[in-house]
Structure 1
């Protein structure tokens, strides 16, 4: 059966990108990958997919970073094509799919395609992939670029198009291209409608320790109403977009605008709004409908076109994921919008004619904002990404052409979590359990809770909790249990979305039964997902409570759960203010859990062992039962010399450092000599930095660990003997030649060499010697096989410094005459010859030297 092609002239009518169709076709004649760079609103999302569909055999997959954008783009193209949604143009997003086997184009979110790749790495039946909005640098989009690069190595017929709304095209062309040449770029620009840029700074601060201030939200609402009324006189049909950082601020601004201007149609647009309401906003309004003010998150920044907008009011604030390396957690942090994002937002006002943007900051504040948003790969939690890459066979992204590599610290944290879940093996490869978790369309931690929790409390109960903690639903007062009760009883506006998510998740659990319950089951499921977030209360006051998490983080909590002894925490994030209780972190959602259930969920974090520490130079120890960092019981014990005692002392040294020891002159000298050899030569000379020594305690301090366990004070440990165990044989025979303890000077004296501190790589070995002992010495000695010249501190007979030099010949020929003129009257008994070259070196006075 022949499938009718898309009517490009009809679809492209009125779209600016229609003028670039020939350029794109020419590029595709020479390459199976192309970067398309075109401003937002020019029609590339609508027109490029049908162009590609006419050139390839197989379905065209188009990715969008957001579900609402995927749905809107599919419906718009189907409407222009005159076909029912799903028949020729369809979409697949989390929880919703409208696409038939006959579909030529399918819009999906990047996450959907990533998981599809795990099941079908060759993308059978797919002729092309169009990756839209690559400039947003969403983590899943970045990963797709890397994975599709490998797919193209196996399938030279697969067409890949990357579309960007900014000027980053060269960067993506390099990644999508080959080592020989970047991929071609198709650029399309259009004359911009005039944009009137205004600034309306708030008299009050935008942010305080609690987040966005109420006073600033009041200001934004008033600014939106006043600006819209001012614009309405000239353009009565104009709609307005108001950009806020998050769903909470969207709701608060919308409520204020409704109070100020009841005549306006105020809409909200964010990820928590039901899909039907999102679609209604994007679909525009009828001629007889009142003007709209649409309050939105960054959802409408670049991947959506909202018709009728001629005014943009911008808070110039954004909320983005940010990893807190010190506390081992990630959270959404509110901060200044980048100037690039603010420009994208402003461009929404000029899609259909002249527009106005009002920025709720002053010009100086705007100019001080970051130039571009940080890529998600650099700021967000990488657990899901690391598991996907492990399943793909590229742990950590090894071998992939990525726009940016995965940050090492974040990747290490992610692999630690995955090891705890049993999802990867020691080599970073995905296990069978890991591959099962990766196919559940949620983070691996809730996926693990769904799998293991279903066996304990029944599939439906586990799915209900995971649907709440793994989605975008609001948790009232931070209490997951009460929120869950409201959802079950349909007392929450989110009940319908939650029920849909529960049904979706039930597809991934084989456990039947409807074991519903209260806090016990809820807390257990959360703890199975996030065992490192099991928390115990350590402080309680009228203002709230402080909890210690198993990960070691302390977090504050106010509200109904503050009196609980144990919690399973679903969400903890960076914060300030009273709720953080001085910890810098705050618990956003949690459920009560019993201690026994905490043990059940976190078996891999439970320890029962001796812990030691150094106090006044001696080892003291306690036997502690812990869940991670949470101490459940602690009693004093005597350290034994066995493995348990050695391990306890090793951990104490790793925590307290090598400063617990008294470093003798010989030990410190040997360490400095070895440090210089390692710095200048490298292998086989060992690294003796604190980090290296603490990481290899058994190899050099093994016998002493047992000695310390018997009660020997740390001050009595001979570190020089211990360090000599690190000497590399047979190279150790050259130690005194390469880095001698003492250096013989012309007078016959053997002067100690002071080697540089181990933490100062720019310092040099120093020999402090009386000037008279060096008469006639022309060539400055060099250590480490001639690599490092000695720095001489030439001293007066009284031991005071006269000169510092690493070029003795130049010193005798120049500065010496000035030193001689100043010193011979002060030290007349010592020789100060005019010709130091011909005078015998001596460490004595002139009279004593003459007697010898």
Structure 2
């Protein structure tokens, strides 16, 4: 019997006429309804005609999470007074409860994508509701794009509804062809906001790490909320580990029940949370409870302010979740949980001043996640570039290129990016393409290991994949139960693929344990096969990885890394789950990375020429190369010159002076005098360093090249200016004493003439080169600087007296006339002059 009272109480009922009108006229609509209004449960029933009004239709509702899909289906069945599966059923991975007469089916977006790939027309489906589209999960965005494509090309009568509590309504309206926006008024109860920041600063989250001090504070806020407010408490935390740690700090709560709810929680726990409890409850949850679910009895929300988002390090081939500050939209959604049934309160574990600095919305997964599965979906849809798909955000080019590289390596797409038969089979498995490849290539024998990798195993299972497999086989925990269900599903899918004529490679039989674990990990992540190398492991991708202290895998010559991350600030990856493999398995699984090539490069200060067999970055065998390609040797030598500089050549004193003189003329006169800076010399290396470079084969040969002779090739011979070098920038200049003194061009902006003071007597103006007065360093008889000037006349007048007074007593045998401007210059002492 239909529960009319409960249906009448749902506020979204008032928006149904406008929604029906929008769908009748446009076929699409965007429904914006606050939490608790009934958009997830009442709207599908109304669209399906199950409330006694309107035509009967078959409606598919897509939810982003399994827990939400199951809960929504049960709630709708309860509103109809039926058992699940009668008029309303659900399908999630590994579970289908749908009777032959069901009019509403709630599915996860992943299931919907598989269904669309098998049947693009969605035969028999009249309407699709995309619920909680504000969460911007990649599968949901992809499903929306595919459905719009179906409506545009195959099924114009297919009705589409994008539904959410907080979303970019106008963006979705544009995406769905100018769909009308229907807004439902909410009757949410008031929610008091209590700002409850930690008393002392806590470290911000990085990677998967959350400061234990913050978790201790969250637990204390939960205790405070229990004392200050009535009703159940819903506490939002970023992940399973944080839930467990906070639960551990909530002992001794008396008659209060503590429940831990997340995507991996047992179905019985999920069911218990969604039904009223006999005792007061504290529900510790991840973001799975932000949307779609109404947890009865909740009057208080404690929000840690943290969430988990995917991130990909394309350079290292690593993808993982990372802890971030939750967005303002998520904060509103979380707070709304407290006001669904009665007035409530939200305790926010951060300062009010920080709130305005939070991001407005969560990051769309398409911008930050691994796009391999998305790229395969797009290829199977017939749009490898995803250029024609209606998406709110375009996929980043670099991420798509990386994804296509992975798909090409596993044979899922051809050289043009089109899906192969193998790719189509992988898309239908309901797995990440990497894991699908491992399942197909082991002919289903790897189903147990694939199931273990498709959902994060409990931390206590350890980092040894083979040991984790043994524990799952014999485990009695909730994870082991879900694992067994997934193994059965995967084996059935693998059998189906073989029946379609897609046999896999020869693989160990079921139960082979360690060998199977390693093979599956290596097939799924070929770039992460790794060899022990100097205390760490070098992966084929080129990234180094470290095993945890005490790992049983330490000492294994080869491992296949299934799960790894890179801690913030660390150069090496951290292995979280791996299996030992032998070299033959590594070579076979990563065959696309295997190759042998000649390597000629500059390394360790000289040219290294060798023939190298590699598995990606891992060197398997190295042999010296006797006859290396001269062109490659030349490039290696040039690389050496770039790294270590032209000091590798033979620089005589005359060669160094020549470079300095040319640098001076370039600065003073410009063209046609050559630029002899390092960068310019590298750019013109063909003009000046040949033929010496062409004959060189190693570092020692560079040391035999006369740099001065080579530089002379750059002189402006063609213009005839080369002959003026000694005129414009002479090596030496004649001074009044008759000596020819060397000019120091070390500073091209100001050449220096260092000469004994007595040799410059009688000279009124400083000597000049190319019109530039030399900076004269006047030396004492001992050759030490006595004065520096560029204006001799001024020095004789003002500076000489002080120098004379200081030095004449120290050097009495040298002339120190009172009027140096009129005195005879000399190289000799006064005694010699008297003779």
If the length of structure 2 is used for normalisation, what is the TM-score?
Answer: 0.73
Q: Deviations over 1:169-205 (max 9, x none)?
A: 001001111xxxx111001232542221112222352
What is the deviation of 1:569? 0.8
Residue 113 to residue 653, structure 1, CA distance change in 2 (3 Å): farther
Q: How far, CA to CA, are the matches of 2:300 and 2:450 in structure 1?
A: 40
Q: Which of 461, 464, 475 is the matching residue for 2:448? A: 464
| Residue 268 (structure 1) aligned with residue 260 (structure 2) | yes
How far off is 1:387 after superposition?
0.6
Residue of structure 2 equivalent to 1:634: 622
Does 1:364 pair with 2:349?
no
Deviation (angstroms), 1:228: 1.1
What whole-Å deviation, never above 9, does each CA across 1:313-353 have from its counterpart, x for those lacking one? Answer: 11111111011233232111012111221121111111112
Task: Describe the SS at the equivalent of 2:608.
Answer: strand
Q: Deviations over 1:134-166 (max 9, x none)?
A: 110000011111111110112110001101211
- 1:557 CA drift (Å): 2.1
Q: Following superposition of structure 1 onto structure 2, how do residues 82-161 of structure 1 map, counting pairs within 5 Å?
A: 82-154=81-153, 155-161=155-161
Partner SS, residue 334 of structure 1: strand
Residues 94-135 of structure 1: CA deviation (Å, up to 9, x unaligned): 000011231111100001010111110111111111101111
8 Å CA contact 1:640, 1:709 repeated in 2: no
Gap change, CA 1:297 and 1:711, over 3 Å in 2: same
Cα distance in structure 1, aligned partners of 2:43 and 2:280: 32
Q: In the TM superposition, what is the alpha-carbon distance from 1:264 to its structure 2 partner? A: 0.7
Alpha-carbon offset, residue 482 of structure 1: 1.1
Q: How does 1:612-761 map to 2 (within 5 A)?
A: 612-615=600-603, 619-641=607-629
Structure-1 residue corresponding to 2:475: 490
Offset, 1:216: 2.3
In structure 2, do the counterparts of structure 1 residues 206 and 390 end up closer, same or farther at CA, with 3 Å as the change threshold? same
Contact 1:62 1:129 in 2 (8 A): yes
Q: Could you say what secondary structure the match of 1:126 adopts?
A: coil
C-alpha offsets along residues 540-586 of structure 1, whole Å, 9 cap, x if unaligned? Answer: 3xxxxx32211112222213323322111111113248xxxx42531
Query: Which of 562, 576, 583 is residue 570 of structure 1 equivalent to?
Result: 562
Q: Which has the higher mean CA deviation after the structures are superposed, 435-444 or 652-661? A: 652-661
Are 2:533 and 1:538 aligned? yes
2:182 to 178, 182, 186: 186
Contact 1:617 1:713 (C-alpha < 8 Å) held by counterparts: no
Contact 1:396-1:406 within 8 A present in 2 as well: no
Q: Distance in 2 between matches of 1:50 and 1:595?
A: 58
Query: 2:36–2:188: 8 Å Cα contact kept in structure 1?
Result: no
Q: Deviations over 1:244-283 (max 9, x none)?
A: 10011112212221x1314211111101111222122122
Per-residue CA distance 1:269-301 (angstroms, 9 max, x = gap): 10111122212212232xxx1110000000001
From the superposition, tell whether residues 333 and 298 of structure 1 become closer, same or farther in structure 2 (CA, over 3 Å): same
Is 1:81 aligned to residue 84 of structure 2? Answer: no
Q: Structure 1 pair 565/351, CA: closer, same or farther in 2 (3 Å)? A: same
1:296 paired residue among 285, 289, 300:
285
Structure 1 residue 655, shift from structure 2 partner = 9.9
User: In 1, are the aligned partners of 2:545 and 2:573 still within 8 Å (CA)?
Assistant: yes
Secondary structure at 2:85 match in 1: coil
8 Å contact from structure 2 (residues 237, 303) kept in 1: yes
Q: In 1, Cα distance between the equivalents of 2:312 and 2:622?
A: 33
Q: Are positions 1:425 and 2:418 aligned together?
A: no
2:546 corresponds to 1:556: yes
Q: What is the alpha-carbon distance in structure 1 between the residues aligned to residue 173 and residue 61 of structure 2? A: 18
Q: What are the Cα deviations for residues 702-747 of structure 1, in whole angstroms up to 9, with x where unaligned? A: x999999899989999xxxxxxxxxxxxxxxxxxxxxxx99xxxxx
For the aligned residue pairs, the C-alpha RMSD in angstroms reads: 3.8
| Structure 1 residues not aligned, in runs of 5+ | 1-5, 233-237, 541-545, 666-689, 695-702, 718-740, 743-795, 801-852
Q: Which residue of 1 is the match for residue 490 of structure 2?
A: 505
Q: SS state of the match for residue 143, structure 2? A: helix
Q: Cα distance, 1:12 vs. partner?
A: 2.7
Over 3 Å counting, the alpha-carbon distance change for 1:530 and 1:366 in structure 2 is same
The separation in 2 between residues aligned to 1:151 and 1:215, in whole angstroms, is 51
Change over 3 Å in CA distance of 1:660–1:126 after alignment to 2? farther
Q: Is the 8 A contact 2:607 2:637 kept in 1?
A: no
Structure 1 residues 142 and 611, CA, compared in 2 at 3 Å: closer, same or farther?
same
SS at match of 1:428: coil
Q: Is the 8 A contact 1:661 1:715 kept in 2?
A: no
Structure 2 residue corresponding to 1:251, chosen from 237, 240, 244? 244
Q: Deviations over 1:220-251 (max 9, x none)?
A: 1121022112213xxxxx11101110011112
1:278 pairs with 2:276: no
Partner of 2:818: none
Work out whether 1:69 is the aligned partner of 2:53.
Answer: no
Cα deviations by residue, 1:406-442 (Å, 9 ceiling, x for unpaired) = 1111111100000100110111000111111111111
Partner in structure 1 of residue 227 of structure 2: 229
Of residues 516, 522, 528, the one that matches 1:521 is: 516
Distance 2:131 2:693 in 1: 59
Distance apart, 1:608 and its partner CA = 2.0
Residue in 2 that maps onto 1:205 = 202
Query: After the TM superposition, which of the residue ranges 152-161 and 19-28 deviates more from structure 2?
Result: 19-28
Change (3 A) 1:514 1:798: closer
When residues 517 and 58 of structure 1 are mapped into structure 2, their CA distance, relative to the original with a 3 A threshold, is same
